[in-house]
Structure 1
């Protein structure tokens, strides 16, 4: 009953004070337009920070068992001492090892990132000599790829130059494109070794 009375009052006010209602609606529309023009367009709100880090260590020409023993286990031993660590899992393949870490809520992720990098440097001392790099990645929600493209090319031409010239370079010129990452493309290189004799 009270809701009907309220609706009746609002209706009467709207009909009796048409100019007031027009000004009120016009004000709401103008404020909405101003607010929408100043809002940032983001996938996730500012300040939203994931509580995950990952470590990837590429190592080719190895069997997964060897990758586990020589890369994943030393990494897990060192990374298990990082403060605020909630869970950790690793995966091994013939291409290397990856370790994924989740941290407790409220953990300062910049401190956790520095600690993880420090532990990775310690673990690298136990890696085989032909392991060149280890990558530590923050799970940055604003860095999620917007688009992924696969390219197949059946001729013997240079796929790297073709993709670089016709896809990567034009896309990188577009305003707002922060990064273009390629996987599987190998740039041709010539290695010249001088004979010391």
Structure 2
């Protein structure tokens, strides 16, 4: 009888102990919750700072890529087009006293490969033939003589002469021609201010372009 009366009391005591342990465990979790939340907020802040630093690094890389892209247009083909257009402007303009016949070999040395291949092709031959017929029977202005001579020079030039294109020897010859033309232009203009007058500013800019392009080819 005594053992039966004590068994429920023991069961009640064990149940009370389990409830007390569970309550203490819950209390400990609630006490640790602010720490976990502060740690979580700190981790979030650190992630935000890391993300901002990564964004700054990516922005710097993009700026460097933009600088490279801006420098990309200075290719050999673009420089050849600048020199060709400048030579054509000097052939046609009247605001300079240079000896324009030097522009013909400069054009042959620095013209883009697409123009040289077009001149040496069938269309170039027919263009030269028709221009020669017009020159024989009709009057051609003096400004158009040099483009016609440049066309004929490229057509009849041997491959040994055309092989100078794109070489250091060709770049040296081009720089000498450009330097001589620049000396003629600025010395005959009288002064630097007169070279940039309204009637000579286009020729001056074209002279500067062919000189700078020739320097780039030599570098």
State TM-score, norm by structure 2: 0.25
Higher strand content, 1 or 2: 1
Q: Larger C-alpha radius of gyration, 1 or 2?
A: 2
State TM-score, norm by structure 1: 0.27
